[in-house]
Structure formats: structure tokens, C-alpha cells
């Protein structure tokens, strides 16, 4: 369409690990995404949760809300799992594994958001859960159509340009990732960006952003 | 595959349209969970339409991801609505006193004969039935440990396939036995861990 100067938009391979026809590899592009996800996973591991501060109106008094340690532990675990799933999604060389990692990001996002015992937040988490479940239809469907039309799921072979991947499969993949990566929308809807335990919410945004970047690379290269 | 695949795709497309229309019209949250689960089956159908060995291997992770998403959303629904487990006398009927021993034995034995995933599920049904009828005061940590070791054996069997292909029969036997134990342990935990107290 635009006649890109190179067919390999991710850049030259830095590292290649072959499992049969499934090849795990790092290009400068995916390596950058990997490092970005790694930094935020480490941040989720080491960071202490913020405590919300309420000011008493008309005076100097303020008080901080108590963070329930159990919820905090659950949320931190979910944030770390979300980071690991994101790491997997940006590294993998297999279309179906990518869809599985994307679904795992969706599940952990539900977990991060659902750790609040607040009706509005739980409502948003529920709506997001429905969307994430429905998104697995186009997500897995896209991977299945790729497999049916080309006979392989290996990105290594699909990116070569010798195989024609139907447009509907690409559209399904993008649609599925849109559904799984929709969590920031629901976070904004429930206004929990500055809720207690705020650093873990960041993971939702990071994972969503990286999923979109990766699926863009996959769809353009195929 | 030449004729069946496009026809199957058309059927799935019609089913997706019907399912999504139902979801748009449905307002009750519980019913929407059920409809979503139904719609998710269509993803598995799309994979199954490919009808190769690889597609068969892809159905299982797809199913597992779908079930875990369903469980997560259901937990959110329970927390959202503030639902609690009903209190009152537990459900007892006569067959629950007489049957569990022999029935569990038959199911577990048949599961061991089948081995693999199918055997694990059959044996787990026996174990779940036994736990359901007799109650459970066992240490679930022990079952979890067994499941973990079984998983390690399963992975070990794959290393045999990769590095010592000549011993494939040995690898098949280890993998079949280990996956039997693992699926059985996991399935029997699913039915019994809830309501047992703070161990969830």
C-alpha cells in the first residue's frame, strides 16, 4: 500500500530461539517493548501503595485511608502476573500464544480492578469482564483463521511474505486485542486512577498499550 | 475440509450474530454471564473447524482461558451483588451414604485405565463425588503437592521426547500417568475448595 522500504518493520533480529517452527525472537522493536514491560513489572514488585489523603475542609487536618493488606497483596500479585503476561505477549513468536497471553492480560486486569470493595468499581470490572470474554471470540477466531488459511501459526513463517493472511483474520486479531485492552476505558469510567493502591493500576495501562503496539506490528508484518 | 470449512464458517457467523444480538437485548447481569459463556463456545468452534491435530491441541488452552475468565467474572458478580452462601441444613439423601465408596472406586479405576486428560477428568468426577458425599477434612496442601510433582513429571516426559526420542514409549507412559494425576487433583480441588473456610 505505502511500499515500506523494508518488509521487516521490527528491525534486524537480535536474538533467536527455535522450538521447531515456533521461533521466539527479539527485534529492536520487541526488545524495547520487553524492557518497558520489565521496568513496570519491577516497579509493581518494589513499590509501596499510595494512601489516599482526605483533607478536612476548613482546617489543617487531614487523614490517610488504611490499605487492607490482603487486598494489597492480591492486587500486587495480579499486577505482577499482568506484567509477566505482557512480557510473554511481546516476546512470543506464535500467533496463538499471543492470543493466550492477551487473554491472560485480560484476566489479570479484571483481578487488579476487582480488588476494590466498591460497588461502582466492581460494576465497571464486571462490564470489562464481559467485554474481555466476548473479545476472546475474535481473538481465538483470528488465530484459527490464520491457521486454517496458511497452515502455520509461526510468526517467523507468516512474516516472510510468502503466505497470504486473509484480511478478516487480521481484523479479528485487532478486534480481539481491542476488547482485551479496553481496561483503561473502564478505569477512567470508574475513576480509580487515583484510588488506593494506585501504582498497580498503572500496570493495566502499560499492558494495554504494549498489547496494542505488538498487535500492530504483527498485523502489519503478516 | 474444502466444503465443510466455509459452511462451518457461515454457521458460526450466524451463531455469533444471534449471540451478540441476545447480549445486546439482555439486561440481567446473571443472564449476560451465561450468554457470554455460550458465545465463548463459538471461539472453540472456530478453532475446531480447522480440524487438524494442532487445532485439537489448541482447544484445551482456549477452553482453560475461557473457564478462568468465566470464574473471574462470576467472582466479581458475587462480590458486586453481595451474595452469600445459603445457610441451613446441608443437602443429604440416602444414596449419598451408600454409593460414594463403590462409585468413586469404579470411576477412579476406569480413569486410570483411560489415562491422559480424559482419564483425569473421569477419575476427578469420582473424587469430587466422594468429597461431596463424605465431606472433606483432608489436607488440600497434599493434593496440591501431588499435582505439582505430576506437572514436573509431565514436563520431564516432554524433555524425553525432545532429547531422547528413542525412548518415546517411556515418555508417553510418564506423560499419560502424570497428566492423569494432575487433572484429577486440580478438578477435585475445584469442587471442594470453596466453602471449606479461609483456604480459598
Same domain, B12 and B44: yes
**B43/A103 touch (CB, cutoff 8 Å), yes or no:** no
Is the residue at B199 inside a domain?
no
* Dihedral angle computed from the Cα positions of residues B64, B67, B68 and B69, in that order, rounded to the nearest 10 degrees: 120
pLDDT top residue among A12 and A207: A207
How many alpha carbons lie under 13 Å from residue B15 in its C-beta half-sphere? 18
The pTM of the full predicted model, rounded to 2 decimals, is 0.80
Using DSSP's 3-state secondary structure scheme, residue A22 falls into strand
Residue pLDDT, tens place only, A143-193: 999 988 888 888 877 877 777 888 888 999 999 999 988 888 887 777 766
Instruction: Confirm or reject contact between B145 and chain A (CB < 8 A).
Output: no
Judge if B52 and B135 occupy the same domain: no
How many domains does chain A contain in total?
Answer: 1
Residue A8 has pLDDT above 80, yes or no: no
User: What's the total number of domains in chain B?
Assistant: 2
Residue A156 lies inside a defined structural domain of this protein: yes
Among the candidates B47, B81, B115, a domain finishes at B81
Is B89 among the domain residues?
Answer: no
Contacts of B128 (CB under 8 A, 6+ apart): B187, B188, B190, B191, B192
B127 and B159, same domain (yes or no): yes
pLDDT tens by residue, chain B, 200 residues: 578 888 988 999 899 999 889 988 988 888 999 999 888 888 888 888 888 888 888 888 888 888 888 888 888 898 888 887 777 776 777 777 788 788 888 888 888 888 777 788 888 888 878 877 776 666 667 777 888 888 898 889 988 988 888 888 888 888 888 888 888 777 776 655 554 444 33
Q: Which of residues 144-173 of A touch B (CB under 8 A)?
A: 144-145, 147-148, 153
List all residues 6 or more positions away from B1 whose beta carbon is below 8 Å from its beta carbon: B51
pLDDT at A97 > cutoff 80: yes
Which of B54, B72, B79 is the closest to A107 by Cβ? B72
pLDDT at A55 exceeding the cut of 50: yes
Distance of residue B40 Cα from the nearest chain A Cα, in angstroms: 6
Domain that holds residue B35: 4-81
Q: Which residues on chain A are in Cβ contact (under 8 Å) with B72? A: 107, 110-111, 114, 129
**Are the beta carbons of B69 and A103 separated by less than 8 Å?**
yes
Q: Looking at the domain assignment, is residue A6 inside a domain?
A: no
Residue A130 in contact with partner chain B when CB distance is under 8 A: yes
What pLDDT, on a 0 to 100 scale, did the predictor assign at position B192? 58
A134 touches chain B (CB under 8 A): yes
User: Of B15, B50, B81, which marks where a domain is finished?
Assistant: B81
Amino acid at each position: 500500500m505505502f511500499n515500506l522500504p523494508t518488509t521487516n518493520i521490527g528491525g534486524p533480529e537480535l536474538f533467536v530461539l527455535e522450538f521447531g517452527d515456533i521461533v521466539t525472537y527479539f527485534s529492536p522493536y520487541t526488545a524495547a517493548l520487553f524492557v518497558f514491560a520489565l521496568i513496570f513489572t519491577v516497579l509493581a514488585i518494589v513499590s509501596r501503595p499510595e494512601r489516599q489523603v482526605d483533607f478536612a475542609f476548613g482546617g489543617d487536618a487531614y487523614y490517610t485511608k488504611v490499605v487492607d493488606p490482603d487486598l494489597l497483596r492480591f492486587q500486587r500479585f495480579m499486577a505482577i502476573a499482568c506484567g509477566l503476561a505482557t512480557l510473554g505477549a511481546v516476546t512470543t513468536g506464535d500467533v496463538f500464544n499471543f492470543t493466550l497471553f492477551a487473554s491472560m492480560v485480560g484476566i489479570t486486569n479484571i483481578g487488579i480492578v476487582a480488588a476494590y470493595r466498591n460497588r461502582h468499581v466492581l460494576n465497571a470490572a464486571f462490564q470489562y469482564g464481559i467485554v474481555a470474554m466476548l473479545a476472546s471470540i475474535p481473538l481465538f477466531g483470528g488465530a484459527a483463521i490464520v491457521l486454517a488459511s496458511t497452515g502455520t501459526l509461526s510468526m517467523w513463517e507468516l512474516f516472510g511474505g510468502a503466505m497470504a493472511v486473509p484480511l478478516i483474520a487480521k481484523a479479528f486479531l485487532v478486534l480481539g486485542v481491542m476488547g482485551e485492552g479496553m481496561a483503561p476505558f473502564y478505569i477512567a469510567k470508574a475513576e480509580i486512577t487515583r484510588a488506593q493502591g494506585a501504582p498497580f493500576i498503572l500496570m493495566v495501562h502499560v499492558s494495554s498499550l504494549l498489547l496494542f503496539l505488538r498487535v500492530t506490528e504483527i498485523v502489519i508484518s503478516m | 475440509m474444502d466444503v465443510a470449512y466455509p459452511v462451518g464458517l457461515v454457521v458460526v457467523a450466524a451463531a455469533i450474530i444471534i449471540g451478540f444480538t441476545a447480549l445486546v437485548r439482555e439486561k440481567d447481569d446473571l443472564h449476560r454471564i451465561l450468554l457470554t459463556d455460550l458465545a465463548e463456545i463459538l471461539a472453540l468452534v472456530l478453532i475446531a473447524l480447522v480440524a487438524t491435530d494442532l487445532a485439537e491441541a489448541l482447544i484445551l488452552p482456549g477452553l482453560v482461558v475461557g473457564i478462568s475468565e468465566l470464574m473471574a467474572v462470576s467472582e466479581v458478580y458475587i462480590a458486586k451483588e453481595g451474595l452469600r452462601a445459603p445457610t441451613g441444613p446441608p443437602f443429604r439423601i440416602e444414596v449419598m451414604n451408600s454409593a460414594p465408596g463403590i462409585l468413586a472406586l469404579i470411576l477412579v479405576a476406569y480413569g486410570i485405565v483411560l489415562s491422559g486428560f480424559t482419564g483425569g477428568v473421569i477419575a476427578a468426577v469420582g473424587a469430587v463425588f466422594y468429597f461431596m458425599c463424605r465431606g472433606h477434612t483432608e489436607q488440600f496442601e497434599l493434593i496440591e503437592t501431588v499435582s505439582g510433582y505430576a506437572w514436573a513429571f509431565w514436563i520431564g516426559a516432554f524433555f524425553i521426547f525432545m532429547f531422547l526420542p528413542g525412548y518415546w514409549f517411556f515418555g508417553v507412559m510418564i506423560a499419560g500417568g502424570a497428566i492423569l494425576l494432575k487433572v484429577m487433583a486440580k478438578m477435585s480441588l475445584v469442587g471442594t475448595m470453596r466453602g471449606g473456610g479461609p483456604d480459598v
